[in-house]
Structure 1
Amino acid sequence: MNARTLKLMVVVATLALGTATAAELASSHPRQWLQPAKGGVATAAVVSKLTAVYGPLTSDANWYVGSYVCLACHQEYTGWRETKHNQALRQPRPEYSLIPGKGVVADYDKNGIDDFQQGLDFNTISSVFDKYKPNAPKLSFESGKYYITIGSLKMPVVFTQGGTGSWKQRFGVRIPVSDLPSGLSAEIYMSPIQYNEATGRYVLYNDKNWYDPTTNQPKWAAGVTSAQLASHGGTYSKKCIGCHATGIRELGQTATGEWLYRGWIAAVYDPADPGVFDYDGDGNADLVNIGCESCHGPGLQHVLAGGAQSKIVNPAKLSTQEANEVCGQCHIRVESVPNGTHEWPYNDATKKSWIPGSGEPLSNYYKDAGGYWPDGQSSKQHHQQFEDLYRSSKPTFQFHPVRCTECHDPHVNTANKNQIVERIVSDNVTIPTQNDNNTLCLACHATHGPFSSITKEQVADLEANIDHIENVVSAHSHHPYGPDRKMGLSRCSKCHMPTIAVTAEAYDIHSHTFEVIPPEKTLAFQDKGGMPNACAVSCHATKVNSFGLGLDPSLGTWNEKFDRDLASALMKYYGPNGLWWQKTLSAGQ
């Protein structure tokens, strides 16, 4: 009898006796889910709470149980709690103020007080909201709660999105309404406020949802009804929740027309975790954010079967295509099918979500809505990595089809940025990996192609073999070798993964096509505004004046004289008759 079977017996016995509720368990033992000896009690509380909400348990119930239930057995993955997957949506709490990944991080004047607690009033400062004065947003904090006031509406902040130390933070609010008993909208709406972490500045986020573009007056005022809000463009349940929650229990419109997502409930969780909260207002905390079951599928049957592997999806055992679709279900910019109602893979006719390991192609659930540069191949907007990947040869490479998880660890914040793996085992050699010293790429690319003279053992012992690796990579790049320095000379990703997409500031997201964007593309699409090329955006337009042209006076614009002159100069080295690389664009490129 294995430990998990024994634990299941404890679960059954405990259910028969009728133990504490999940709420009691969570409040009295906030770390109970981490106690292996008492994991059965935690599981019993989960099943008891789920049946109380969903009804009697059936043999084919396909319910989500929540990541804290998973962690009761799989404690080696507790690091997931600190990943961006779990920290995207958070209930704002004062005890976590200015802590990235936990609380409100907005602090435009860097005085050590978050802008809500400081009472920032955009009517009193110069900002992107100037045209909306005297009805520009006001931030406030009262009795432990965060608020945004626009005109006559004072709105509670239900959650923050982002603010993990990398890109940006946005704010979801409920709007006071006159026709519902609660006095607040059922739906959560994204405010027009976005705080960019790297620069500490505020930018507008879909402000047209809040202000009339002809009068600059607020669209919504005291006395607004939920029926009137049905036309609000910032509805989170309709546009966003599919990629910021673990499963969708129900999704539809209320009697007055507001969109509303109802989540799978979090029966057992750590009350100190701001990423677990009541999204839909039914009194139960919901499984918002990306948890274990987003990738492994619903976990109830796995739990009831004593942890049987046959009852859960393991992406590592899926085909490369299926495993990459697990990531692709969210790292993609799409519309639902057939009506294009939602902005994630979803069948809005059958109200069915794609589930990992189901055997159905992800493509059955979406149509592409990506934002691209004029070549139609290079992503201009963020969360399009899946589309990028399948525009490259990587996932279908005949010698080694590449999976997202070979470069990124979904379970833990590694010592590298963006959860890049810390080691790769290749040809039975364990190679410590980093993006900035090229070991991440060389762990696979050594021994073949331009790097055939580099062995895996040499990459694993980088310091001892740096001279040889430097010579080989520099011969390929035609540049000096300093990948881990500020300029990143001869760093693989500088050329093959240039930062050409935007999530907060231009440009802060890497391309994932792995194709070097040639200078000729900047010139080929001048009539469409031009586009960045890898040489310019990674170095020659922003960091070094190699051709006596200076640096780009307006990065983000690609059809000015500077851009054309620089692209022409670069084509002498990388172009149809390039001295270093010969590249000619074919039709459609």
Structure 2
Amino acid sequence: GLLLLTACKGDTGEQGPQGPPGEPGEPGQPPGTGLEPEPFGLVGRVMEPSLAPVPSGSVYLVPATDVEELAATPIDLFLSPEATAILEIDEPIEDLLDANADDYAQAAVDADGVYRFETLPEGRHFVVWMPSFDDDQRLPGGDSSRTAFESDSLIGMQMDIRVSSRPSASATYVGSSTCMVCHGLHSTTRTAHNVGLQVPGVRSILQDVEPWPDFDEGLAAFDAGTTLYFYDCDSAAPDPAKCAVDVAAPAVAVAFTLDLRRDPGLPLGAIGAYYVEMVDGTTERYDVVLTYGGALGKQQYLTRRSNPDGSFSYFVLPLQYNYQGDFTNAWRDYRSDLWYDFDANALQQPGDVESFDNNCAGCHFTGYQLDGSDAQGWSAAATVAADGAFDYDGDGKPELINTGCEACHGPGSEHLEQRPQGSNIVSPGLLTPGRQAAICGSCHSRPIGIGGGTRGLPLSADNEMPRVGIRRAEFAQNHTSRVSGAPEDFFASGDVKAHYQQYSDHLRSKHYRNGTRLTTCTGCHDPHANPDDVAAMDSSGNPNALCTTCHSPEANPELYPLPEHVADVTGVNGHASLEDFFGPFICTDCHMVPTAKSGASVPALLDSLGGPPSVQYFWNDIAGHRMTVTRWEGGQPDQPIAFTNECGQCHAELLPNTPTP
């Protein structure tokens, strides 16, 4: 007979050396070239940032005149979430496409990502790509959706359009350090978004406070052993400051004191190294676990307490350090009514609903999560990262408790794992302007959420922050019980009074809805760079360089030099020569007056004419973003305006404290 021998598979051997490189292949055709032109129309490719073709969707030409007509109707900030969700005027591109897509010139995108218009309608148009109904991998817009193009300038041309991809609902957060493996340790580490929450006196590798040399100035008072006296209190005051505060004992009765202390027996970074003692005859000690702010005008201090389930909730202590303003003492009260019962004259602790976790953390954390309830306490967490600033939830792992890459680009796991590179991540600059502005607007509009105890975070019923790239309609419907600030958060003029409302201003500005260029937040603010660093790189010598990129005779011949503009709008020809005496006009001195207050008011005009008494006018510390000029209408101004600083330097005699002749 035959003897059959069978072989068994052995262990895999070691990998051999890498072989020599193969012969180079034929060069491929570069994307965006080689398309046969349309002599009376427009052609181009639609592609992702990776240059991978987008094989579906349609390109629309949205008439600039329709956007201009849309802008004629003011946006009502005080509509209900339901009414806001069906509003047809607040998203200048997509609202028009919702209503008129069938009537607009359009071209389908083929399997190679190519679109063609054989002819073009007359006039100016925004060129916008919209995904097909079943495309859940990309978001509407494109890099040509912000500027209106004259049809004559497009005829016979090739316009390639880059559009944003997006991660799926199952994508997870990987942390900024992972992003920087490819993208580098760049200047986002020097932005206020990235340094807002810190362990007192300690930085993570992702936090660079060099642009703010006074960042830890408030902590110096702890090192020195300072006592703050709280007195002359009014718990019903509308301002967050309920008491006057001084570093010297006042001549009147004191409600309580705060002793700011540094424990020299503990190293920096240890919980308890900084603490406060609140004293009113009894004493309560609170460890300062995190500093909150320090880059923009003020710094506050967070303590934490344990919940019944062993988790932690964090609370803002009742003190605030102001870096600017009219004061001899930089400290002010912040919500002492949560920490002191003014009726019973006794110390108390804030209720669980007042925690930082469900009121604030979602607008700072990357990969925010929230658990808990008003009854049991709220506990937040952020994305775990080796270079995170702090172990916030106490599980032994540091977390990204500041605004990192994925807060604006979406969770990055699929972007990291899948190919081609550049896919499965949101590129905000390639979205429709409404969607990009809504990324910032979810926190910079003073909304009240649905989940999390219905507080000042736009949380859904499932306690989730808005996903990056959604429309304002979805934001309003699914994440808010109040879409924007309350009426009392605005002056009668419409200018903002309370902070965190830059988006509410921007929506009402001509920059957001016009027939020329649809500007978003990043049109002026670089989210990847410190503004001082950007200014330092500007060698033009023009203090208005950002504004005059668009608003200048060179960029737009219909406009005129700034001195002539000032003379024209004021009706005084002599104003055109004022630059010779006072230096250059600054656009923002009139168009972005700081009307909202977060930290402290800043002295503006001191009007001593007609006194005594003299009148000290103030600006606040958060600039308005409507870009309008609120005029002086006579009488005593009830808000910061340009007249009580710039104009009033020469025209103080017009103000009401001057005696009538």
TM bucket, shorter chain: 0.5 to 0.7
Is the contact between residue 190 and residue 210 of structure 2 (CA under 8 Å) also seen in structure 1?
Answer: no
User: Would the alpha carbon gap of residues 448 and 397 (structure 1) be closer, same or farther in structure 2, given more than 3 Å must change?
Assistant: farther
1:193-204 matched pairs, under 5 angstroms:
193-199=319-325, 201-204=330-333
Deviation string, structure 1 residues 104-156 (Cα, Å, up to 9, x no partner):
94657xxxx80111111225994499678474111111113111111322111
1:148 aligns with 2:276: yes
User: Would the alpha carbon gap of residues 433 and 415 (structure 1) be closer, same or farther in structure 2, given more than 3 Å must change?
Assistant: farther
**Gaps spanning 5+ residues in structure 2: where?**
1-14, 16-166, 231-244, 268-272, 602-619
Amino acid corresponding to residue 186 of structure 1 in structure 2? F
Range 336-345 or range 202-211, more displaced? 336-345
Shift of 1:393: 1.8
Q: Choose which of 411, 422, 432 in structure 2 pairs with 1:298.
A: 411
**SS of match in other structure, 1:73:** helix
User: C-alpha distance in 2, partners of 1:119/1:208?
Assistant: 24
1:208-219 matched pairs, under 5 angstroms:
208-219=337-348
1:158 aligns with 2:158: no
Overall identity of the aligned pairs, in %:
26
- Give the TM-score of the pair, scaled to structure 1: 0.66
Is the contact between residue 409 and residue 421 of structure 1 (CA under 8 Å) also seen in structure 2?
Answer: no
User: C-alpha distance in 1, partners of 2:411/2:525?
Assistant: 23
Amino acid corresponding to residue 162 of structure 1 in structure 2? G
- Give the TM-score of the pair, scaled to structure 2: 0.59
Is the contact between residue 369 and residue 463 of structure 2 (CA under 8 Å) also seen in structure 1?
Answer: no
Match of 2:377 in 1: 258
User: C-alpha distance in 1, partners of 2:403/2:452?
Assistant: 25
Q: Choose which of 190, 193, 200 in structure 2 pairs with 1:82.
A: 190
User: C-alpha distance in 1, partners of 2:229/2:590?
Assistant: 44
1:375 aligns with 2:492: yes
Is the contact between residue 302 and residue 316 of structure 2 (CA under 8 Å) also seen in structure 1?
Answer: yes
**SS of match in other structure, 2:532:** coil
Amino acid corresponding to residue 115 of structure 1 in structure 2? A
Shift of 1:415: 3.1
Deviation string, structure 1 residues 371-403 (Cα, Å, up to 9, x no partner):
533426210011100000111121111111111
Is the contact between residue 483 and residue 491 of structure 1 (CA under 8 Å) also seen in structure 2?
Answer: no
Q: Choose which of 626, 629, 638 in structure 2 pairs with 1:531.
A: 638
Match of 2:463 in 1: 351
CA RMSD of aligned residues (A): 3.8
1:445 aligns with 2:551: yes
Shift of 1:294: 0.8
Shift of 1:309: 2.1
Aligned residues: 439
**SS of match in other structure, 1:350:** coil
1:386-405 matched pairs, under 5 angstroms:
386-405=503-522
User: C-alpha distance in 2, partners of 1:397/1:412?
Assistant: 28
Deviation string, structure 1 residues 137-184 (Cα, Å, up to 9, x no partner):
1111111311111132211111101112x3000000024x6x8697xx
User: C-alpha distance in 2, partners of 1:126/1:533?
Assistant: 26
User: C-alpha distance in 2, partners of 1:484/1:501?
Assistant: 32
Amino acid corresponding to residue 189 of structure 2 in structure 1? R
User: C-alpha distance in 1, partners of 2:562/2:171?
Assistant: 51
Shift of 1:339: 8.6
User: C-alpha distance in 1, partners of 2:398/2:566?
Assistant: 52
Deviation string, structure 1 residues 546-573 (Cα, Å, up to 9, x no partner):
24267xxxxxxxxxx54xx79x99xxxx
Match of 2:599 in 1: 504
1:139 aligns with 2:260: yes
User: Would the alpha carbon gap of residues 338 and 114 (structure 1) be closer, same or farther in structure 2, given more than 3 Å must change?
Assistant: closer
1:361 aligns with 2:474: yes
User: C-alpha distance in 1, partners of 2:650/2:344?
Assistant: 45
| Structure with more relative contact order (C-alpha pairs < 8 Å, separation 6 or more) | 2
Deviation string, structure 1 residues 501-546 (Cα, Å, up to 9, x no partner):
11111211111011111223x75xx8xxx633633344245xx152
Match of 1:62 in 2: 171
Amino acid corresponding to residue 382 of structure 2 in structure 1? G
Amino acid corresponding to residue 446 of structure 1 in structure 2? S
Match of 1:173 in 2: 303
**SS of match in other structure, 2:186:** helix
User: C-alpha distance in 1, partners of 2:424/2:174?
Assistant: 13
Is the contact between residue 377 and residue 391 of structure 1 (CA under 8 Å) also seen in structure 2?
Answer: no
Q: Whose helix proportion is higher, 1 or 2?
A: 1
Match of 1:324 in 2: 437
User: C-alpha distance in 2, partners of 1:253/1:70?
Assistant: 34
Is the contact between residue 209 and residue 232 of structure 1 (CA under 8 Å) also seen in structure 2?
Answer: no
Match of 2:398 in 1: 285
Is the contact between residue 100 and residue 163 of structure 1 (CA under 8 Å) also seen in structure 2?
Answer: no
Deviation string, structure 1 residues 330-388 (Cα, Å, up to 9, x no partner):
222110137971212221x2323211124563333222234533426210011100000
Match of 1:93 in 2: 201
User: Would the alpha carbon gap of residues 281 and 474 (structure 1) be closer, same or farther in structure 2, given more than 3 Å must change?
Assistant: same
Amino acid corresponding to residue 362 of structure 2 in structure 1? G
**Gaps spanning 5+ residues in structure 1: where?**
1-12, 14-57, 221-228, 270-274, 424-430, 455-467, 551-560, 570-589
Shift of 1:60: 6.4
User: Would the alpha carbon gap of residues 362 and 369 (structure 1) be closer, same or farther in structure 2, given more than 3 Å must change?
Assistant: same
Is the contact between residue 497 and residue 515 of structure 1 (CA under 8 Å) also seen in structure 2?
Answer: yes
Match of 1:41 in 2: none
